[in-house]
């Protein structure tokens, strides 16, 4: 790996527990950025966004730029979000914290978030629903399962799933993949790759039975593992039924100029050599 002022070049080495070459995306012409310019935004296939009847968003925090942008591209879609850590009260607390940060740093990004307390009730109404539950493998502590989330949608709904649940993806993905016939695409931020490389590899192989990788990025705040792989990769998968034939490996350079951006703009992004 080598370092420049703007990027960190990532490449695998023999013997690494996870190999970057296994994550080279396939060609996909309809990629767009959905969500914010930094953290909270994902590069996804527009074909899948417009084909979806619903967005299931697992993991919200106080950033729903992806969900709002998804709704702009597909106004007919239901948007169901799950996060037990977010409420009207926490939105107010978040807004106060952002106000103090703005006064200390005079950063416009903090100023925009000062109005989260108002944006929360304005956004989550009508077709946009926030369930104050965590997505889990069972219903313990008022959790909701993946099956519960699908049951709240119209029968047979085609779903785009966004998953950012801070490590719980390993607990829910088997259940989510059972719904693969009804999932058009997945945008997932994985965690704990450094301590769970075998579980991570197995999960990726399971997903690739029904989906192709169409985009690869990583949260630059997640660092790199000892085996030269991002600690928090963000991977977009598109259902294989969107392809008429076996797709060719992508010839794009990653990150993709004009689409990708570092989650934390103050730190260098990663450049990948597949």
- In angstroms, the CA 121 to CA 130 distance is 10
pLDDT band at 112 (very low <50, low <70, confident <90, very high): confident
Q: What is the pLDDT of residue 164?
A: 97
Express the helix, strand and coil content of the chain in percent, nearest 5 each.
30, 25, 45
Q: Is the pLDDT of residue 249 over 80?
A: yes
Terminal CA-to-CA distance of the chain, rounded, Å? 13
Tell me: the pLDDT tens digits for 19-62? Answer: 999 999 999 999 999 999 888 899 999 999 999 999 999 999 99
Q: What is the pLDDT of residue 133?
A: 98
Tell me: the pLDDT tens digits for 217-239? Answer: 999 999 999 999 999 999 999 99
pTM over 0.85: yes
Going from N- to C-terminal start, the domains of the chain cover 7-86+132-272
For the domain covering 7-86+132-272, report its CATH number: 3.40.50
Mean pLDDT rounded to a whole number for the chain: 95
Q: What is the pLDDT of residue 2?
A: 41
Do residues 139 and 175 lie in contact, with contact meaning Cβ atoms separated by under 8 Å?
A: no
Q: Is the pLDDT of residue 159 over 80?
A: yes
User: Looking at 103-112, 176-185, 197-206, which range is the least confident one?
Assistant: 103-112
Q: What is the pLDDT of residue 3?
A: 42
**HSE toward the beta carbon, residue 148, CA cutoff 13 A:** 17
- In angstroms, the CA 5 to CA 132 distance is 41
Q: Which residues are 56's β-sheet partners?
A: 80, 161
pLDDT band at 5 (very low <50, low <70, confident <90, very high): very low
């Amino acid at each position: 790996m080598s370092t420049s002022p703007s990027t960190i070049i990532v490449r695998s080495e023999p013997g690494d527990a996870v190999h970057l070459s296994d994550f080279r995306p396939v060609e996909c012409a309809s990629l767009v950025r959905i969500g914010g310019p930094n953290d909270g935004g994902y590069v996804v296939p527009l074909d899948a966004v417009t084909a979806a009847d619903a967005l299931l968003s697992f993991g919200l925090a106080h950033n729903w730029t992806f969900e709002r942008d998804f709704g702009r591209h597909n106004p007919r879609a239901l948007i169901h979000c799950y996060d037990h850590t977010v409420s009207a009260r926490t939105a107010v607390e978040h807004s106060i914290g952002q106000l103090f940060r703005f006064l200390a740093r005079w950063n416009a990004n903090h100023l925009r978030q000062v109005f989260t307390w108002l944006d929360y009730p304005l956004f989550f109404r009508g077709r946009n629903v926030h369930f104050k539950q965590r997505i889990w493998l069972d219903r313990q502590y008022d959790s909701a399962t993946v099956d519960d989330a699908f049951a709240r949608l119209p029968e047979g709904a085609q779903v785009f799933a966004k998953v950012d649940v801070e490590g719980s993806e390993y607990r829910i993905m088997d259940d989510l993949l059972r719904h693969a016939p009804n999932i058009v695409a997945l945008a997932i931020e994985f965690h704990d790759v450094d301590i769970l490389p075998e579980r991570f590899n197995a999960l990726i192989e399971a997903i690739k039975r029904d989906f192709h990788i169409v985009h690869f990025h990583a949260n630059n705040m997640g660092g790199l593992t000892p085996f030269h792989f991002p600690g928090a990769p963000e991977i977009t998968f598109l259902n294989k039924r969107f392809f008429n034939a076996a797709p060719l490996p992508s010839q794009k350079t990653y990150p993709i100029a004009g689409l990708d951006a570092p989650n934390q703009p103050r730190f260098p992004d990663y450049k990948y050599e597949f």
